[in-house]
Amino acid sequence: NLALEDIHLHVETRLKEIIGPAAGRLHTARSRNDQVAVDFRLWVKAACAEADLALKGLITALLARAEEHADTIMPGFTHLQVAQPVTLGHHLMAYVEMLGRDRSRFADAMKRMDECPLGAAALAGTSFPIDRQMTAKALGFAGGPTRNSLDSVSDRDFALEYLSATHMTGLHLSRLAEEMIIWASQPFGFITLPDAWSTGSSIMPQKRNPDAAELVRAKAGQFLAAFTRLSVVMKGLPLAYSKDMQEDKEQTFDAADSLMLALAAMSGMVGDMQANVPSLEAAAATGFSTATDLADWLVRELGLPFRDAHHVTGTLVAMAEAKGADLPDLTLAEMTSVHAGITDAVFGVLGVQNSVASRVSFGGTAPAQVRLRIAEWKEVLG
């Protein structure tokens, strides 16, 4: 009915059709301001819970793949250059940690928004003897009623916190999507994404484009834009309510829809991707990835200061590079020509398997450590 001003009048009119004139009492001790605030809080609370559940699903998918590949060697990178060997399981578990923090952000936001604005009325409260504790409990607000009527109707920090958590989650999803895109490319060949998460080219029949991952990557900008847009709406508003605040919902609803879609898509891709183990292990053995292991061995076994060990290792790397070989391909004679104290025991640390197995510090990439972290997370998820 276009003659009715807003949703509140629609509700009152419909209630009048059902119960008669008593519906006119519906607006007693209430304002559109506090009713909108309570409705929006309830919606954002539900959106936080949905995000948490979807994040749990993605974490579960990552845990399954990490456990499957706790021993699978791959190159670890810094600056996108081969740095040290790690395991694929360890790499995937890094995203589990990130997404776990994202869950905590949504949970924290829910705690702070779990107070009921109903009864704040337009801005000053009401003269009617209402029971705000009762209405807060009936509506499921564990924190009870809000404590200041002006604040109750004039802030949207709960929505901003939700959008901030959404933005951070989007960043993590975008980074994972970017890696999957790189890994699926022919120069890397680390993983294969099935056709369900790829599309073909209109003119190049050999192509399998990782479109789903690319779209997830793009969503990060949308989440940041939503947070920025609402921040700009709120940044200069005097207390209490202003009509500007009507512009709080469009970007929040849109971000929520996109977040759930991105999480579902990423869960599917993680669950269905196939790791190309030979390619991963071959790449891990390139780029002098065990150079740090050699330097550590020189410190540990020969007592060299690390700075000296770094220099010796750099000289050996240059020697191997000149030969078109890797460090394990150097002969003992070549190594002792750089430092006479090197023995054939050094070859025990130059293999990528030995390198990974040696990283037994808490949180390290050794398969045993990876499995411990997986077990801990399974316990957390229940």
The answer to whether residue 31 is catalytic is no
Confirm if 220 and 170 have CB atoms less than 8 A apart: yes
The answer to whether residue 201 is catalytic is yes
- Which member of 79, 127, 202, 361 is catalytic? 79
Q: Produce one character per residue of 158-185: b if its CB has 16 or more CB atoms within 10 Å, e if not.
A: bbbbbbbbbbbbbebbbebbebbbbbbe
Cβ neighbours of residue 220 closer than 8 Å, sequence gap 6 or more: 167, 170, 171, 173, 174
- Residue 158 tokens, joined: 């709960």
* Euclidean distance between CA atoms 169 and 210, whole angstroms: 20
- Which member of 104, 201, 231, 242 is catalytic? 201
Catalytic residues: 79, 201
